[in-house]
Structure 1
């Protein structure tokens, strides 16, 4: 079973540096993080920030929402599928 932070990290690592910067821009503009929080944050720091602020399920929702805004639908679908599989494994 893969943990939520690992799923999120794998997803963000699928973004190139320009797209990760855009992802962090959405975090900032959606009021989830401050400029100082995301300015020098890498993918790992960004995952930790989202989980700390919104919890694991909230971080997944935020990530899915932002990926869809960025039209990264393939990554969003992959995350959603992996997350559903992970949740169903823990409840089985």
Structure 2
């Protein structure tokens, strides 16, 4: 099964040495930079590990796509984005049902106008709204 990490590694393996150096440069000169000292001698696997540690797993893929686009590697960015969409969502251990009998939250519904999502110590990934027209107020809490 593909993971976010393996999908990013597969994409970055397509870069030539100079392009990979440019990729690392962008990571150290972004809005949330990874320190240059950590990236300087980092190989491909180290860079992906640093990205996951620094940004978090789900954002690492988005940052990789964005960085590839800055480098004008649009075909590679598109392929990576597509592969990332095929990766199953990572659910933190705290969000799953436990042996204590606390049930796991119900899956989010795709139809309707109201959605209540709760978590008992886990991470909640909010729904994404796209491909629609909103004519009234929309509130996210």
User: TM-score, normalized by length of structure 1?
Assistant: 0.90
1:9 is aligned to: 9
2:129 is aligned to: none
Which stretches in structure 1 are left out of the alignment for 5+ residues?
none
Kindly tell me the number of residue pairs found equivalent between the two proteins. 90
Distance 1:87 1:75 in 2: 20
Which of the pair has the greater relative contact order for Cα pairs under 8 Å at 6+ separation? 1
Instruction: Specify the structure having the higher radius of gyration (Cα).
Output: 2
Distance 2:61 2:88 in 1: 12
Distance 1:35 1:86 in 2: 29
The answer to whether 1:68 aligns with 2:60 is no
Structure 1 residue ranges (4+ consecutive) displaced by more than 3 angstroms after TM superposition: none
Secondary structure of 2:15's counterpart equals coil
Higher helix share: 1
1:86 is aligned to: 87
Which stretches in structure 2 are left out of the alignment for 5+ residues?
90-106, 108-141
Distance 1:58 1:25 in 2: 18
TM-aligned CA deviation for residue 35 of structure 1: 1.3
User: TM-score, normalized by length of structure 2?
Assistant: 0.60
- What are the Cα deviations for residues 17-71 of structure 1, in whole angstroms up to 9, with x where unaligned? 0000000000011142111011001110000000011111110111011000001
